[in-house]
Structure 1
Amino acid sequence: MIVINRQVLVNAFVPAHELEVPDRFAGRRKQVLELSDCLYAHGATPLIYGDRGLGKSSLALQLQLIAMGNAELLTKLGVTDRVLPPDKRFLTFFVTCTDSTRNFADLLQSLVNHAESVEHVDTSAGATKLIDRTTRKRVTFKLFEAESTKKYAAESGRLSFKDLNLEEKLVRLCELLTDTYGMPVLFIIDELDRMKDTAGLASFLKAVSSEALKFVLVGIASNVAELLTDHQSIERRLRPVLVPVMEEAELEQIVIKAQSYLNAEGIPLAFSMRAIARLADVSSGYPWFVHVLGQECLIVAESKSRTLVQYNDVDRAIRGLARNESAQQLSDMYQAAVRDSEPREKTLRAFALWNHSDIPTRDVYKLLSEELGTQAGSTHRSQLCKAEFGGILFVPPFQKRGLVRFRNEMFKAYVRMRPSIYSGVDSAVKEAYLKRHWRQEREFDEYSGR
């Protein structure tokens, strides 16, 4: 009997954490190349943005490793020419905004705290590696003499007694870091969307970004304006890098890499090709769903002493998604939207089946009334736009009527995937959608003479 290491099993997929190990990072070749080029561009400020659940933070962590000189991912991608030479590598700090990061001043204080918290870790060679004491993350792989870090700590301490505002203090600290260690400084600012007010940030970045000081911004948004209040002051310096939904082949790579990780750790669990394809298909381009469902599949297979995850295991994981702890927030949103109304659930699922982000209400209303017998589609749509029901839909500002969008595209994918509260609603809406789509295709063929 094979004894399975539980810690290894439950970490083959990581829905609750970013992927830091390059060997397990899948896809995103285009974005990795764009970001690695930005490290060479003087004054450029990369902005990583996109919907929830698409792996922006994992991508940012890979950029952190690349900036510190780690060549593993770039080598795997076959672009070793982009590996930073020793004299171009950065002292890199990964700063995550929280609910307490309300404005630019709060962010500046956090950046200062990270810059002040450099300390050394002794190595067997007698030299030191730097870490960020506030997060215990590595700042650089390069080895330094311990004396350098002691000198920096002493000098940065003296700055605290000088009459400097936060902006001046951060700049002086970064200059001191560069003078002490002979390396430029990079701040990766994650979850920028948590800041209630970003006023002042863009102007600051424009003023201080240089060859020796660089910033990377990461956040949930559909466009730059959603992340930066005064983005026009930095428009020419910004390098927007959109993180789109993943291709199915990229999603399949996540499963294959998780499987390889297990096998390397002595756990002979694997996914059938049909199970891998099913996971990639149902996840609608969102890697987070691959991690949530894949993790559940492994746990179930192991509990039944099976070494192969089958197609039906994926379907069972999908049916259990409403009870999955990792997806609890999405489940709560669904419950708040549907409540005690079967017609509203039909309306919600009919909107979710539309493939594009801009959803024409007229077409959905026709689907509801003609195929599903639900006549009050506009009423339920209006309710789904209200905060009382979670405000999951909204009318785009440029379109006063006729179109709606999901406020959270990841939730839209979740709606399509999970079972309905009212029995048969999910299958009825899917059948109606397919029937109407087939009818429209036939009418088009007849009209065009095909």
Structure 2
Amino acid sequence: MILLDEFDVIGDKAGIGSLIKSMSNERVKFAICGIGRDLVELVDDHQSVERLLEEGAIDIKPMANDEISAIFERATSLYNGDLTFDHDVVEQIVELSDGYPYLAQLMGKACVNRVNETQAPRVDRTVFDHVLEDIRSGTAFPTLESAYLRAVGQSELRRLLLTILAEQRSDASKYNDDVQRVALKEIRALATEFEIDHIDQLVPRLIDKKFGPALVRDPDIYGAYEWANPVLRAYVRLRR
């Protein structure tokens, strides 16, 4: 099994479909992982590969709460009990991670770094409050913070707009329960309350590949966008 992870970030995928088709046999198989609206976005240069992907496609949902909690149970076990996470801290990390284990692991690692500084044997509410403050100030996760700053630039209004979009919940009846899709028309009234009067002038940077992009225009629904990286959305909701 040859696993091609984060396949969506590859800029030029030309020929990969034919390569997979020619190399696959009963002993060699390929698995492609990536974020996309459909399979065509991942592999689009060989129709027979597309059919194979369709037959074996697995839609990965956000991780269940108990599975994220198990990450911290495993960490405690690996530390042989020398470091523990308070139950209420784990519960909050589960809630804030939005079902993305990567974000949960980042928060857990930040907690470990904090207790290493203080030599404390456990991650309690006080420790996690310090970690949350680091996240909200932009000092905890350099990679996500860099993506966030590239998206908003020097514009305070764009920062507010991105935060509003990150907080927006999709209407399942309109968007097929796709929680990563947002619509500008749904937040215009709220944006006005924050004195964001020219939304359409702020959006182009958010969808420009030179600056991320943070959002991708939905070709099927006018005024609707999808988050290019759902973890960034969760981070924006934490970042203040």
Q: TM-score, normalised by structure 2?
A: 0.83
Partner SS, residue 241 of structure 1: coil
1:198 aligned counterpart, secondary structure = coil
Q: Aligned residue for 2:237?
A: 416
CA drift at 1:191: 4.0
Matched, 1:283 2:105: no
Aligned to 2:174: none
Query: 44, 50, 59: which is aligned to 1:235?
Result: 50
The structure-2 alpha-carbon separation of the partners of 1:258 and 1:231, relative to structure 1 and needing over 3 Å to count, comes to farther
Separation of aligned partners in 2, 1:378 and 1:244: 31
1:367 matched to 2:190:
yes
Conserved? CA contact 2:15–2:45, under 8 Å = yes
Given candidates 107, 113, 120, the residue that maps to 1:306 is 120
CA distance in 2, matches of 1:249, 1:209: 36
Change (3 A) 1:295 1:196: closer
Q: Where does residue 18 of structure 1 map in the other structure? A: none
TM alignment of 1:193-212, pairs within 5 A:
193-212=8-27
2:146 aligned with 1:332, yes or no? Answer: yes
**Kept in 2: contact 1:190–1:217 (CA 8 A):** yes
Q: Give runs of aligned pairs for residues 14-163 of structure 1, distance below 5 A.
A: none
Secondary structure of 1:384's aligned partner: helix
* Residues 241-300 of structure 1 deviation map (CA, whole Å, 9 limit, x = unaligned): 23222122211111111111111xxx5211111001011111111111111111121222
- What is the CA–CA distance in structure 2 between the aligned matches of 1:208 and 1:337, rounded to whole Å? 39
Q: Equivalent residue for 1:214?
A: 29
Q: Which has the larger radius of gyration?
A: 1
Matched, 1:381 2:197: no
- Give the corresponding residue for 2:41: 226
Amino acid at match of 2:190: L
Q: CA deviation at 1:204?
A: 4.4
Give the Cα–Cα distance (whole angstroms) in 1 for the partners of residues 12 and 205 of structure 2: 29
Query: Structure 1 residues 364, 269: CA separation in 2 closer, same or farther (over 3 Å shift)?
Result: same
* CA distance, structure 2, for counterparts of residue 377 and residue 197 of structure 1: 32
Which stretch shifts more, 306-315 or 381-390?
381-390
In 2, Cα distance between equivalents of 1:203 and 1:358:
32
TM-superposed CA distance for 1:225, in Å, is 1.2
Match of 1:245 among 56, 62, 66: 62
The residue aligned with 2:7 is: 192
Q: Relative to structure 1, is the Cα distance of residues 219 and 381 closer, same or farther in structure 2, using a 3 angstrom cutoff?
A: closer
Q: Secondary structure at the match of 1:284?
A: coil
- CA–CA distance in structure 2, aligned partners of residues 201 and 229 of structure 1: 9
The answer to whether the 8 A contact 1:255-1:290 is kept is no
Partner of 1:318: 132
TM-score (norm 1): 0.46
* Compared CA separation, residues 408 and 343, structure 1 to 2 (3 A): same
Q: Tell me if structure 2 keeps the 8 A contact 1:358–1:404.
A: yes
Could you say which residue in structure 2 is the equivalent of 1:405? 226
The CA distance in 2 between the partners of 1:221 and 1:273, in whole Å, is 35
1:341 aligns with 2:155: yes
1:380-408: CA deviation from partner (whole Å, max 9, x where unpaired): 23442335654322321222x32122222
Which of residues 87, 95, 107 is equivalent to 1:273? 87
Change (3 A) 1:368 1:188: closer
2:78 match:
261
Distance 1:194 1:383 in 2: 19
Q: Deviations over 1:1-34 (max 9, x none)?
A: xxxxxxxxxxxxxxxxxxxxxxxxxxxxxxxxxx
3-state SS of the aligned residue for 2:51?
coil
Q: Which structure 2 segments of 5+ residues have no match? A: 170-178
| 8 Å Cα contact 1:279-1:314 kept in structure 2 | no
Change (3 A) 1:309 1:367: same
- CA deviations 1:215-236 (Å, max 9, x no partner) are 3333343431122122422233
Aligned counterparts of 1:389 and 1:187: Cα–Cα separation in 2: 31
Distance 1:345-1:236 versus aligned 2 partners, 3 A rule = closer
- Give the RMSD, CA atoms, in angstroms: 2.3
Aligned pair count reads 227
Q: Describe the SS at the equivalent of 1:320.
A: helix
In the superposition, relative to structure 1, how do residues 208 and 394 fare at CA in structure 2: closer, same or farther (>3 Å)?
closer
User: Structure 2: which amino acid aligns with 1:192?
Assistant: F
Name whichever of 303-312 and 408-417 sits farther off.
303-312
Aligned to 1:443: none
The amino acid that maps onto 2:49 is I
Partner of 2:168, secondary structure, is coil
Of structures 1 and 2, the one with the larger relative CO (CA 8 A, separation 6+) is: 1
